[in-house]
Amino acid sequence: MSDAYIALEDGSVIEARCRAPGRTRGELVFTTAYTGYEESLTDPSYEEQVLTFSYPLIGNYGVREERFESDRVHPRAAVAREFTDDVAAWLSEAGVPAIDHLDTRELVTSIRERGAMKCGIAAGEDATPEAAKAELAECKSMSDHIDIGKRVTTVEHTLYEGGGEYSVALIDCGAKGSIISSLNERGADVHVLPYDASEADVQTVDPDVLFISNGPGDPVNFPNAQSLVETFTGELPIAGICLGQQIVARAFNGETEKMAFGHRGVNQPVKDVQTGQVIMTTQNHGYTVSDPGDLDVTQVNVNDDTAEGLASDDLRIITRQYHPEANPGPHDSLGFFDDVLGLVNKGTPVTAD
Q: State the sign of the Cα–Cα–Cα–Cα dihedral 27, 28, 32, 36.
A: positive
Cα distance between the two ends of the chain: 57
Is 215 annotated in a binding site? The answer is: yes
Strand partners, 138: none
Is 287 annotated in a binding site? The answer is: yes
Whether 325 is catalytic is: yes
Is 46 annotated in a binding site? The answer is: no
Q: Which of 18, 119, 139, 242 is catalytic?
A: 242
- The type of residue at 234 is G
Is 243 annotated in a binding site? The answer is: yes
Whether 242 is catalytic is: yes
Is 193 annotated in a binding site? The answer is: no
Distance CA 134, CA 278 (A): 46
Distance CA 345, CA 153 (A): 30
Strand 307-312 with 296-301, pairing: antiparallel
Helix spans in 51-124 (H): 85-94, 104-114
* Rounded-to-5 percentages of helix, strand, coil across the chain: 30, 35, 40
Residues 6+ apart with CB under 8 A from 282: 33, 36, 265, 266, 268, 322, 323, 326, 329, 330
Which helix (H) or strand (E) covers residue 166, if one does?
strand 166-172
Is 284 annotated in a binding site? The answer is: yes
Is 286 annotated in a binding site? The answer is: yes
Q: Which of 39, 47, 308, 325 is catalytic?
A: 325
Is 244 annotated in a binding site? The answer is: no
Name the binding residues.
45, 215, 217, 243, 246, 284, 286-287
Any idea which residues carry the catalytic annotation? 242, 323, 325
Name the binding residues for L-glutamine.
45, 215, 217, 243, 246, 284, 286-287
